Amino acid sequence: MIAPAVLGGVLLAGPLVALLVRAPWERMGELLAGPVVLPALGLSFGTAFASTVVCVVLGVPLAAVLAGSDGWPRAVTRVARAVVATPLVLPPVVGGIALLLLLSRTGLLGRPLFAAFGLTIPFTTAAVVIAQAFVGLPFLVLSVEGALRGVDARFTVAAATLGASPWATFVRVTLPLAAPGLAAGAVLSFARALGEFGATITFAGSLPGVTETLPVAAYVALTNDPGSAIAIAVVLVVVALAVLLALRERWLTGLRA
Amino acid sequence: MIRGPARRSLACATTVGLVAVALTGCAEPRNAAPGSPASSGPPGGLAGTITVDAAASLSPVLPKLARAFEDDHPGTTVRLGFGGSSALAAQIVAGAPVDVFAAASTATMATVTDAKLTADPPVTIARNRLEIAVPPSNPGRIAGLADFADPTRTVIVCDPQVPCGAAARQVFALAKVAAKPDSYEPDVTSVLTKVETGDADAGLVYRTDVRAAGSKVKGIPVGQAASALTAYPIAPLSASQNLPLAKAFTDYVVQRGAPDLAAAGFLPPQ
């Protein structure tokens, strides 16, 4: 039992240790202040925040629908939940390809959008937000659905008997009770969006300041400027650890849902 | 004894596992072992497998040369990998098991020679020039390089760190165009694909790529590109596990590759 556990620990902690040990600390200030890292950092945080907002706005209603789906046929709920969870198992590049087929100028929705409004979605910051929302939504929906199902029905019944409309009950009773699950799902969505690479580079492209997020910048820097790539890696690891530690394990409820 | 749903899951998992193992068996090409009685003794005793990493723009030509080489030398296998030259060079320097490297610029080959990883001095086999690629109907009404400075049009180029991106930057400087690309793609094939699908109004790719894409794109020649040609050096690598075969394939490409390279639209080496 001990040996496999130790091996697992080495597999998880080893790369992080190697990263921190081999980072060019003496050049870190110069690398971080350079033209690559800060714009990518700002873009990454901005788009991750925006995509988390999108996930919450779209995901909470979706989770509410799924949480109330007990009356539906089993097959339908199974398919619905599988579709929601698909971005979790889909390779991100495949997600990017699928988004291109939907929203590019010759895509299923993209072609009418372009013909009607002249709207091009790939190569824009909006495309980054869409790609990140695509991969982050399952975390939020599944976490919130679990939290909603865990709300004690007696509270909602009490609210109804006191005369609250279904909407008021949802907003003022159910959601606050499900808030920890919502927060956990949102944080996981945010973290996933921050690290998203494959769908972003395939669907949104790579342009500094517009679509070059931190992971994309690290990939581009890897061949000619490994120092920058390592600096970006360190930034991402520090941010990830900070987010997870700050939550003091409340994010685990999101995974257990 | 495992019963019920657990037994079904176990059977399912076992079947998936067996199928996965069987499929990996299909992935490895089978070659005759050197000196085995079944093979007819290839000329010069060449046998085995080599891995060739080459610039993405060589993908219309190298597969044909590799198959012709394998036909001339039964019992040999040439595996080809294509990508952006700078990424390939970085992988080779990091220790990737590659036998031959064909780059799209002398600068990316220099990354490998500077690390003392080439077994022979690199030999230039071809040169290439840039050309504008647009979708067949030219929806962006692109007429020339100047349109790359238009922010309303969707134009893409290679990342400056790969050879076609460096050449693009040179060409823009020569033409005094302040280009405003909407994306820097990691290799020339990505640029070409996005033009083919119509996601970009125009992309700056190689003339050979325009030719290889046939009717999927239309090419617009660029005058200044003649002053910003890229050179393609090839060299066997010293870390090769099969250096005789690596050198033989390199020599084959150098001596016999000219007709196929010219047919694909490459310019001669000098």
- At A106-142, the pLDDT tens digits run 889 988 998 898 888 888 999 999 999 999 999 999 9
**Residue B27 within a domain:** no
| Structural tokens at position B7 | 């037994």
Task: For residue B89, give the nearest of B65, B113, B57 by alpha carbon.
Answer: B113
**Residue B22 within a domain:** no
Listed in order, strand segments (DSSP E) in chain B are: 48-55, 76-83, 100-102, 123-128, 130-134, 155-158, 183-185, 202-206, 218-221, 230-236
Q: Same domain for B159 and B96?
A: no
**Residue B7 within a domain:** no
CB contact under 8 A, A206 and B181: no
Higher pLDDT, A257 or B171: B171
SS3 (DSSP) at B38 = coil
pLDDT higher than 80, residue A252: no
CB B179 within 8 A of CB B156: no
Q: What is the pLDDT of residue B35?
A: 41
Region at B41 (left for phi over 0; alpha for psi -120 to 50; beta for the rest): left
**Residue B13 within a domain:** no
Q: Same domain for B146 and B188?
A: yes
* CA–CA separation, B211 and B30 (whole Å): 34
Mutation site for B-interface testing, chosen from A121, A224, A230 by largest number of B Cβ within 10 Å: A224
What is the nearest CA distance from A68 to chain B, expressed in angstroms? 27
CB contact under 8 A, A205 and B84: no
Mutation site for A-interface testing, chosen from B184, B196, B201 by largest number of A Cβ within 10 Å: B184
pLDDT digits (tens, 9 = 90+) for B27-61: 444 444 444 444 444 456 788 999 999 998 899 99
Q: Same domain for B222 and B136?
A: yes
Using a CB-CB cut-off of 8 Å, the residues of chain A touching B198 are 104-106
Task: For residue B111, give the nearest of B233, B265, B242 by alpha carbon.
Answer: B233
Q: Same domain for B188 and B73?
A: no
CB B69 within 8 A of CB B173: no
Q: Same domain for B168 and B221?
A: yes
Q: Same domain for B187 and B164?
A: yes
Mutation site for A-interface testing, chosen from B105, B193, B197, B199 by largest number of A Cβ within 10 Å: B199
β-strand partners of B132 = B204, B220
Q: Same domain for B62 and B147?
A: no
Q: Do β-strands B130-134 and B202-206 pair in parallel, antiparallel, or remain unpaired? A: antiparallel
Using a CB-CB cut-off of 8 Å, the residues of chain A touching B89 are 223
CB contact under 8 A, A123 and B183: yes
Minimal Cβ distance to A207: which of B84, B182, B199: B182
Q: Same domain for B203 and B153?
A: yes
Overall average pLDDT of the A224-232 stretch: 83
**Residue B174 within a domain:** yes
Q: What is the pLDDT of residue B16?
A: 62
Backbone angles phi, psi at A130, to 5 degrees: -65, -45
Using the CB atoms, write b or e for B27-54: b if 16+ within 10 Å: eeeebbeeeeeeeeeeeeebbbbbbbbb
* CA–CA separation, A186 and A132 (whole Å): 13
Residues 219-248 of A with CB under 8 A from B: 219-220, 222-224
CB B49 within 8 A of CB B29: yes
CB B208 within 8 A of CB B59: no
Q: What is the pLDDT of residue A250?
A: 62
Mutation site for B-interface testing, chosen from A223, A224, A225 by largest number of B Cβ within 10 Å: A223
Minimal Cβ distance to A211: which of B90, B183, B197: B183
pLDDT digits (tens), chain B, 270 positions? 556 566 666 666 666 666 655 555 554 444 444 444 444 444 567 889 999 999 988 999 999 999 999 999 999 999 999 988 888 998 899 889 999 999 999 999 999 999 999 999 999 999 999 999 999 999 889 999 999 999 889 999 999 888 899 999 999 999 999 999 999 998 888 899 899 988 899 999 999 999 999 999 999 999 988 899 999 999 999 999 999 999 999 999 999 999 999 999 999 998
Q: What is the pLDDT of residue A35?
A: 82
* CA–CA separation, A59 and A182 (whole Å): 10
Q: What is the pLDDT of residue A153?
A: 85
Share of chain A above pLDDT 90, in %: 41
Q: What is the pLDDT of residue A175?
A: 87
> How many structural domains does chain B have?
2
| Structural tokens at position B22 | 């069987």
* CA–CA separation, B62 and B80 (whole Å): 8
Q: What is the pLDDT of residue B33?
A: 42
Q: Same domain for B245 and B123?
A: yes
**Residue B122 within a domain:** yes
Alpha carbon separation from A98 to A93, A101, A108, B35, B156 (Å, rounded)? 9, 5, 10, 49, 21
Q: Same domain for B104 and B237?
A: yes
CB B104 within 8 A of CB B166: no
* CA–CA separation, B51 and B70 (whole Å): 13
Overall average pLDDT of the A5-20 stretch: 93
Task: For residue B55, give the nearest of B30, B83, B78 by alpha carbon.
Answer: B83
**Residue B195 within a domain:** yes
User: pTM of the prediction?
Assistant: 0.78
Q: Same domain for B214 and B189?
A: yes
The CATH code of the domain that includes B214 is 3.40.190.10
Task: Tell whether A218 is within 8 A of chain B (Cβ).
Answer: no
* CA–CA separation, A91 and A96 (whole Å): 9
Burial label, B255 (beta-carbon count in 10 A; 0-12, 13-18, 19+): exposed
CATH class of A30-256: mainly alpha
**Angle ∠(B6,B11,B12) on CA atoms, nearest 5:** 95
Overall average pLDDT of the A208-213 stretch: 89
Query: What range does the domain containing B247 cover?
Result: 47-127+231-264
Overall average pLDDT of the A91-106 stretch: 90
Overall average pLDDT of the A148-166 stretch: 88
Q: What is the pLDDT of residue B36?
A: 41
Using a CB-CB cut-off of 8 Å, the residues of chain A touching B199 are 100, 104-106, 120, 122-123
Using a CB-CB cut-off of 8 Å, the residues of chain B touching A201 are 186
Q: What is the pLDDT of residue A223?
A: 75
Q: Which residues of chain B are at the A interface, by a Cβ-Cβ cutoff of 8 Å?
A: 84, 86-87, 89-90, 154, 156, 159, 161, 181-186, 194, 197-200
| Structural tokens at position A167 | 């909407």
Minimal Cβ distance to A223: which of B86, B183, B184: B86
CB B78 within 8 A of CB B66: yes
Backbone angles phi, psi at B148, to 5 degrees: -75, -15
The Cβ-side half-sphere exposure at B86, using a 13 Å CA radius, reads 22
Q: Same domain for B88 and B135?
A: no
